[in-house]
Chain A
Amino acid sequence: MPLMRSITSFIVVIAILSIMMGCNGPEGSIKSSHAAGAGGRPGPSESASADRWTTLRVELFERNNKPVGAHSITDNYLTQYIQQQFGDPERIKIEFITIPRAEEVGRLQVLMAANQAPDIVFTYDLPTVYNFYIQDKLTDLSSLLDQYGQDLKNVLGEEILSYGRMNGTQFAIPAKRVLTARSTTLIREDWLKEAGLPLPATTEQFYEALKAFKRFRLEKYGENIYPYGHIDYYHIAPLQYSFWEWDQITEEDLYADPDWVMPGNKAAFKFLNQLYHEGLIDPNFHLDRYAQQFQKDLVNGRVGAATPNTIEPVYMGYLAELQKKDPNAILTPIDPFTDAKGKRMKPILENTGMYIMVPKTSRNAEAAIKYLNWMAQPENYTILQNGIEGVTNYFDYCIILNGKYVSSTDEQLNLKANASAPEFETFALQSVKYGMNDGIATPRIPTILPSEMKYSAILNDKNDEIFVKVLTAKPEEFDTVYDQEVAEYMMMGGRQVQEEKHRAYQNHQ
């Protein structure tokens, strides 16, 4: 027995020791590799002159929309093209680091905090970019751009580059957005014909058309439809802007004030509230968070009008689907929402897309700029944006451009390129024309606003909440609900953001 026990204890001791050694192992190796990294850190010029390969790590959005059987997004025709055309001659190995599209901001924050971000990172979220800049986490790219970025400068232009610069530091390279139209209203022209109505040219006519659609479908097919689809806070903006009293809104107000306090905004929501109670918009509109039900309803002929993103029906494919399902269906772009002066004000997008950055921890800033500059050469962005016929068309590689880009002088050519199929060209051209008509971009002030960084997420949620509450409020309670909700919005941070923005605007003048 005693012998037995001593053997057991011996085994136990050995086991514990070996586990402890095991724990030490990786830690030790991490330390050593760290030390090597810090000591042997090559400067940019050193790495270029040394006759060895550098690895350039580039962020890539993972959208999880790869068709079954397609090549992986990190190894396919386009990545090989990049490697062969750019990487091999420069002795740079390109490595793509995928980040899920939906979590990009959070992931990027963590990677940056851990000093493990790729050499090229990007995000659409400007407060995040500013935050990195304040924390001094980004490489100043000014001199590298002068040295290696001539093509990039030509494509983007000085204005766009200026949005990524502050106090002479080029902390980010904003991508160029080719099309700035934001949303365009569409209507079923075939239904209008059946009802004997013209294409709506005013808000009033649009409303009449909705009522006619509802009545008509009920009488003819016994179907209770909700003719105005895709209702959410973002997409009702053209209607909303048409109710604003623009002669009372200065540029400063447009920049600083939340929509809820704009003169005329309440009337816009009163109108939407009326549409809701008359059954002209889907009572379940808010359950359809990602507009999936809307697309189904449109294809199945249960929606008569909507205001989606400009050309979305083309690039999301539901226009083609509708025509396949019902060859007689005609979906036509219109521009009906008119303000008191007959103008059709609507918001348009900024001319920038995402912000591309090189973290300070990167040792390959030079290679990064060379890569972006290579991408800015027409033969390269053409291939990256269009792929090669029959090969996966993956637009996420061309990070410097948002939307297909063909010509710097002819907008029409760019438009055609984005229509994607010849049969939709007229639709796309018309959509963009209406989407830009009397379009107004929110003024931009290049300042960092702490209150906005702090409150934007919660205020965005509140926007959605108010939107639902005021649309569904009982008509007699509408005013009370609206005022009460807006007061709450201002109290939970809206007021701070508003005041800070006014100050920023005035300081900037």
Chain B
Amino acid sequence: MQTEVRRSGTVLAGKRRNAMTGFKRQWPLYLLMVLPMTFFITFKYIPMLGVVVAFKDYNIFRGIWASEWVGLEVFREIFAMPQFYKALRNTLMLNVISLLTFPIPIILAIMLNELRINWYKRVSQTLLYLPHFISWVIVGGMALQLLATNTGSINELIKSLGGKPIPFLEDTIMWILTYTGAGVWHYAGWGTILYLAALTGINKELYEAAEVDGATRLRRIWHITLPGIKPTIIVLFIIQIGHMADIGFEQPYALQNGYVMDVAQVISTYVYTVGIQSAQFALAAAVGLFQSVVGLVLLLTAELISRKVNNQGIF
């Protein structure tokens, strides 16, 4: 017993000694790290202190510190607004629906990975991720040109074929589908690249061995490809869960219109009107803080579940 303890003690001491000598030998590396750390502290963490405006009667002219403290008054005000709940509900609803499209990039990546003709694969890949670089403002304009009931090209086509025009942008259900579809169009190709990168990391010998053993293509995808990219899938999934209470500004703002505000007014666009356009920055900051807290809770929950079930997570 005693020898055991002593041995572990010496191991610890040895480790510490190693760390010290390591520092002596590599101090320039540590010094180099100081720069990026300073950068992040200055531009990421210090600005976070600005979140105190959520607890103040913030006045842009008086500045952050001179404005008066109001405690939780701003939050009380937000939670008393009926439209806030509507916006929160819509945010969650649109995000949950978007989450259903989560497997699409995975399927696309696997399909691309199975392609054997290289140029075809490369061209398809490029075509798939190009929409990612188109600004949402332009996508919004395109949606109008293509999908408007009277003047949109798609409805013109439907009409000329004798069909009834589809109210893609005015009907609430149709709008949700349009929103989700536009999201897939915009993001799926980009997500595919991440999975393709993960796929290249899978050992080719595994496939060869499976082939020798007579595994069919589907079997190989199921037993080699999917387990191979499982960590990537889990990380991306958890990140997306963390963004549940959070929604980009541009996509909903560019696509929304007066007909569908009941489902299209989300937190970000609501904060834009209430917080920014009315110059109530405290309110905007408070909603932002609320979103972050909800996001953090969801993220940690997803992480915990993933650790329990899969023994894998992102932290």
If the complex has contacts A19-B35, A286-B259, are A12 and B28 also in contact, measured as CB distance less than 8 A?
yes
Question: Is the C-beta of A506 less than 8 angstroms from some C-beta in chain B?
Answer: no
Whether B278 lies near A453 (C-beta < 8 A) is yes
Residues in A whose Cβ lies below 8 Å from that of B150: 226, 282-284
Q: How large is the interface on A (under 10, 10 to 19, 20 to 34, 35 or more residues)?
A: 35 or more
Min CB–CB distance A95 → chain B (angstroms): 25
Whether A12 lies near B32 (C-beta < 8 A) is yes
Whether B82 lies near A488 (C-beta < 8 A) is yes
Question: Is the C-beta of A13 less than 8 angstroms from some C-beta in chain B?
Answer: yes
Residues in B whose Cβ lies below 8 Å from that of A461: 273
If the complex has contacts A284-B151, A454-B278, A457-B273, are A465 and B61 also in contact, measured as CB distance less than 8 A?
no
Question: Is the C-beta of B268 less than 8 angstroms from some C-beta in chain A?
Answer: no
Contacts of A448-483 to chain B: CB distance below 8 A? 453-458, 461, 464-465, 467-468, 472
Whether A284 lies near B35 (C-beta < 8 A) is no
Name the residue among B31, B32, B34, B279 with the largest chain A CB count within 10 angstroms: B279
Contact of B278 among A13, A282, A455 (CB under 8 A): A455
Compute how far the CA of A192 lies from the CA of B256 in the bound complex, rounded to whole angstroms. 38
- Closest partner residue, chain A, to B159 (CB atom): A224
Name the residue among A110, A289, A458, A491 with the largest chain B CB count within 10 angstroms: A458
Whether B148 lies near A468 (C-beta < 8 A) is no
Compute how far the CA of A468 lies from the CA of B60 in the bound complex, rounded to whole angstroms. 35
Min CB–CB distance A89 → chain B (angstroms): 37
Question: Is the C-beta of A137 less than 8 angstroms from some C-beta in chain B?
Answer: yes
Compute how far the CA of A284 lies from the CA of B270 in the bound complex, rounded to whole angstroms. 23
Question: Chain A binding site: helix, strand, loop or mixed by DSSP?
Answer: helix
Compute how far the CA of A13 lies from the CA of B35 in the bound complex, rounded to whole angstroms. 11
Residues in A whose Cβ lies below 8 Å from that of B59: 135
- Closest partner residue, chain A, to B29 (CB atom): A12
Compute how far the CA of A283 lies from the CA of B60 in the bound complex, rounded to whole angstroms. 42
Compute how far the CA of A137 lies from the CA of B32 in the bound complex, rounded to whole angstroms. 46
Question: Is the C-beta of A492 less than 8 angstroms from some C-beta in chain B?
Answer: yes
Residues in A whose Cβ lies below 8 Å from that of B35: 16, 19
Name the residue among B59, B60, B61, B170 with the largest chain A CB count within 10 angstroms: B61
Min CB–CB distance A315 → chain B (angstroms): 25
If the complex has contacts A16-B34, A109-B60, are A457 and B258 also in contact, measured as CB distance less than 8 A?
no
Compute how far the CA of A354 lies from the CA of B278 in the bound complex, rounded to whole angstroms. 19
Whether B258 lies near A467 (C-beta < 8 A) is yes
Compute how far the CA of A284 lies from the CA of B166 in the bound complex, rounded to whole angstroms. 12
Question: Is the C-beta of A445 less than 8 angstroms from some C-beta in chain B?
Answer: no
Whether B28 lies near A492 (C-beta < 8 A) is no
If the complex has contacts A13-B31, A488-B82, are A464 and B258 also in contact, measured as CB distance less than 8 A?
yes
Question: Is the C-beta of A486 less than 8 angstroms from some C-beta in chain B?
Answer: no
Compute how far the CA of A453 lies from the CA of B277 in the bound complex, rounded to whole angstroms. 10
Min CB–CB distance A348 → chain B (angstroms): 27
Question: Is the C-beta of B226 less than 8 angstroms from some C-beta in chain A?
Answer: no
A–B pairs, 24, beta carbons within 8 Å: A5-B28, A9-B31, A12-B31, A12-B32, A13-B31, A16-B34, A16-B35, A109-B279, A131-B279, A135-B59, A284-B151, A286-B258, A287-B170, A453-B278, A455-B278, A456-B278, A457-B274, A457-B277, A464-B258, A467-B258, A472-B170, A488-B82, A492-B81, A492-B82
